[in-house]
Amino acid sequence: MRLAGRSVSAGRGGGPALVSAKPMSFLGGVDPATGIVRDPASDIRGECVAGRVLVFPSGKGSTVGSYVLYGLARHGVAPAAIVNERTETIVATGCILGGIPLVDRIDPTAILTGDRVAVDGDAGAVELPDVIERRAATAFLRNRGRILILKRGDTAPTFPGLWSAVSGSVEPTERPLARARDEILEETAIRGARLVARGGPVFVRHDATVFVVFPFLFDVPTRQVRLDRENTDARWVRPAELPEYHTVPRLSDALAAVLPQGA
């Protein structure tokens, strides 16, 4: 799988991924002589960054952290590359000073610790050679302020027994919006759906597969649903109630991508 991002620091590097779900502070957070993460609040405390592709959302802390990154490079214990969701000045400066390839605008949830990763800081791209990409469309149907969720059958090929929105795989030659419209008819038999919003892709990691989910919001004229064989139950819920259900991963994030805050 290839992830397209933005080049921040040039060069190429690769190795096993070390992924933190939290922003990282380098000053006091990483030992510049050994590359060991010392930050007690870090979810990768005790790990060594040397020779690994370090993946985290963004940097934080003192600007002196730039010189810690530079120090890691001087001591030969720097990460092989860094991947961020949003790079700020501290990490960017440190990587440029230390010659560490850096790419940002990458969703870190697509990468797991231990993945083989190749970072191209010149092209602004990240390669995951052992990970398969599958595209999917997810359609949220709204009627009088409530959202339709469907319970996947126990024999569903992925995420059996979990709640989801209307969804389906998108073939390479298909457009996600067209697939979303087709799935609405197939899974609910509701007609007259009106597109309200579309969101940017949401990445869902499942074993060695990354589902690239394209979310859409439709207003529909009825709550009458005729289920197909893929789903076993349907409920119309308020958006705030969604966390009460055992849903497929990142369903709330996909809904947030298309539903205005507070709606």
CATH number of 147's domain = 3.90.79.10
Phi/psi of residue 131, each to 5°?
-110, 135
- Say if residue 211 is in the same domain as residue 250: yes
Does some domain include residue 261?
no
CA distance 187 to 19: 37
**pLDDT score for 262:** 54
Look at residue 262 and tell me if it is in a domain: no
Verify whether residue 9 is a known catalytic residue: no
Determine the Cα–Cα distance for residues 20 and 52; give it in Å rounded to an integer: 12
Residue where a domain stops, chosen among 66, 99, 127 = 127
Determine contact, residues 209/130, Cβ cutoff 8 Å: no
DSSP-derived letter for residue 48 is B
Specify whether 154 is located in the same domain as 75: no
What are the distances in angstroms from CA 191 to CA 141, 194, 218, 223? 11, 9, 11, 11
Kindly state the DSSP code that residue 247 receives in the 8-state scheme.
Answer: B
Among 78, 106, 127, where does a domain finish? Answer: 127
Contact status, residue 103 vs residue 76, Cβ threshold 8 Å:
no
pLDDT value at position 211?
Answer: 96
Residue 82 has a pLDDT of: 98
Q: Which residues on adjacent β-strands are paired with residue 60?
A: 25
In a domain, 142, yes or no: yes
Among candidate residues 7, 20, 25, 62, the one labeled active-site is: 62
Both 139 and 210 in a single domain?
Answer: yes
Q: Which of 127, 146, 176 is the C-terminal boundary of a domain?
A: 127
Do 156 and 180 belong to one domain?
yes
176 lies in the same domain as 230? yes
My answer on whether 96 and 180 are in the same domain is no
Q: Are residues 109 and 142 in the same domain?
A: no
Q: Is residue 245 part of a domain?
A: yes
Q: Which residues contact 231 (CB under 8 A, 6 or more apart)?
A: 150, 151, 152, 153, 187
Same domain, 27 and 94: yes
- 136 and 82, same structural domain? no
Which residues 6+ apart lie within 8 Å of 208 measured at CB?
130, 131, 132
Burial letters for 35-55: b for 16+ Cβ neighbours within 10 Å, e otherwise?
Answer: bebebeebebeebbbbbbbbb
pLDDT at 158: 87
pTM: 0.89
150 and 225: one domain? yes
What are the start-end ranges of the H helices in 121-216? 176-188
Same domain, 108 and 159: no
Identify which of 219, 168, 167 has the alpha carbon closest to the alpha carbon of residue 197.
219
Please report whether residue 139 resides in a domain.
Answer: yes
Per-residue tens of pLDDT for the chain, all 263 residues = 999 999 999 999 999 999 999 999 999 999 999 999 999 999 999 999 999 999 999 999 999 999 999 999 999 999 999 999 999 999 999 999 999 999 999 999 999 999 999 999 999 999 999 999 999 999 999 999 999 999 999 988 889 999 999 999 999 999 999 999 999 999 999 999 999 999 999 999 999 999 999 999 999 999 999 998 889 999 999 999 999 999 999 999 999 999 976 56
Q: What is the pLDDT of residue 51?
A: 97
Domains: count for the chain? 2
Domain that holds residue 29: 2-127
Token code pair at residue 161: 């027994």
Within a domain: 48: yes
CATH no. for residue 109? Answer: 3.50.30.10
Residue 92 falls inside a structural domain: yes
Closest CA to 86 of 106, 72, 100, 110: 106
Q: Write the DSSP string, 9-67.
A: E-SEEEEEEEE-SS-EE-TTTB-TTT-BB--TT-TTTT-B-TTSEEEES-EES-TTHHH
Query: Cα(238)–Cα(33) distance, rounded to whole angstroms?
Result: 52
Question: What is the pLDDT, as a whole number, of residue 186?
Answer: 95
Tokens of 192: 């007259």
**Domain identity same for 169 and 122:** no
CB contact set of 114 (below 8 Å; sequence gap of 6+) = 16, 17
Residue 263 falls within a domain, yes or no? no
Most distant pair of Cα atoms in the chain: their distance = 65
Q: Name the strand (E) or helix (H) holding 102.
A: strand 102-104
